[in-house]
Amino acid sequence: MSGLDHHCRHSHRGRHLLYRQIHDPRHEYRHKEVWLLIRAADIKQSGLRSLRLGIAILFHPVDGFEELQKNKHLISAFVLILLTISVRIIAIYMTSFHITSLQPKDANLNLEIIRFVVPLISGVIACYLITAIMDGEAYFSQVLTAMSYALIPYIVFTIPLAAVSLVMSRGELGLYNSINMIIWLWVALLIFIQLKVLNDYTFKKAVGVLLLSVFAFIIFWGTVGLVFALTNHVLQFVRELAVEVRYLLEN
C-alpha cells in the first residue's frame, strides 16, 4: 500500500505541476510570444515568395503563372490591387502639370478608385465565365490573382514615369504617351499569357477566348449604360408628369 500511496502522491503532484504550468500567465505569455514570432516568420516568408513570383511573372511570365497555378496567392492579389490604386493616386499628384491630362485639383479620388476596381472585377468575371464555358481549368480566385499580378508593370513603372515627366517638356508628350502605352501593352500581354497558361489553351484558342471575354465585357457595360440611360429617362418623365399633375390640381 505504501508503494501505491507513493505512486498516487507522485501522480497527483505531477498533475498539479502541469495544471500550474498550463495556467501560469508567464507560460501563456511565452506561448503567445512564440506564436507571434512564428506568424511573423510565415508572413515574411509569404511576402518573399510573392515578391519572387512577381519578378518571375514580370520577366518569365509562363513560368510565373505556372507557379501561381500551384499555390494560393489570394492575399497577394488584394495587396496588388491596393498597390495599383495607391500608384494611380500618387501618379495623379506627381505627374507634371503640362504632361498629365488630369490636373490634381480636378481629380476625384473616389471616382478614380471606382474607375479602376469596377472594370477590373467585371473583367475578371467576364474572363472566368467565358473560360468556364470554353473548358477552362482556372478557378475564379486564380483568375483574380493572375489578373492582379498582370498589373505589376503598371505598379513598377508608373511612378518612375511620373517622376521623369517632371523634367519633360510639353514637346515630349508623345514620348511620355508612348512609354505609357508600352506599359499597358505589357499588362495586356500578361493577361493573355495568364489566360493561356492557367487554362492550358493553345495559342489560337487563347486568342479566341480573349476576344470573347472582351466582347462580353463590352456587352455587359453597354447593357449597364443602356439600362442607366433608360432609367434616367423614365425618372425624368415621372418627375415632369408629377409636376404637370400638381399644376393641374392646383389650377
* Domain of residue 164, residue span: 62-242
User: 58 CB contacts (<8 Å, ≥6 apart)?
Assistant: 64, 152, 153, 156
Are 16 and 66 in the same domain?
A: no
On the question of pLDDT at 15 being above 80, the answer is: no
Sequence-ordered alpha helix ranges (H) in the chain? 2-23, 25-59, 61-70, 74-94, 109-133, 140-149, 152-165, 173-199, 203-250
Are 34 and 69 in the same domain?
A: no
* Structural domain count of the chain: 2
Are 24 and 117 in the same domain?
A: no
Are 38 and 112 in the same domain?
A: no
The three cell numbers of residue 148 are 492582379
For 88-143, write each residue's pLDDT tens digit: 999 988 888 878 877 778 888 888 888 888 889 999 999 999 999 988 888 888 99
Task: Kindly state whether residue 56 falls inside one of the protein's structural domains.
Answer: no
Integer CA distances (angstroms), 59 to 53, 67, 181, 182, in order: 10, 14, 18, 15
Are 155 and 118 in the same domain?
A: yes
pLDDT, mean over the chain = 81
Are 191 and 73 in the same domain?
A: yes
Task: Kindly state whether residue 169 falls inside one of the protein's structural domains.
Answer: yes
Task: Kindly state whether residue 99 falls inside one of the protein's structural domains.
Answer: yes
Are 173 and 224 in the same domain?
A: yes
> What pLDDT is attached to residue 168?
84
Task: Kindly state whether residue 51 falls inside one of the protein's structural domains.
Answer: no
Are 108 and 141 in the same domain?
A: yes
On the question of pLDDT at 42 being above 60, the answer is: no
Are 150 and 215 in the same domain?
A: yes
Task: Kindly state whether residue 67 falls inside one of the protein's structural domains.
Answer: yes
Residue 159 has what DSSP assignment? H
Are 109 and 209 in the same domain?
A: yes
- Is pTM beyond 0.85? Reply is no
For 162-202, write each residue's pLDDT tens digit: 999 888 888 888 898 999 999 999 999 999 999 999 998 99
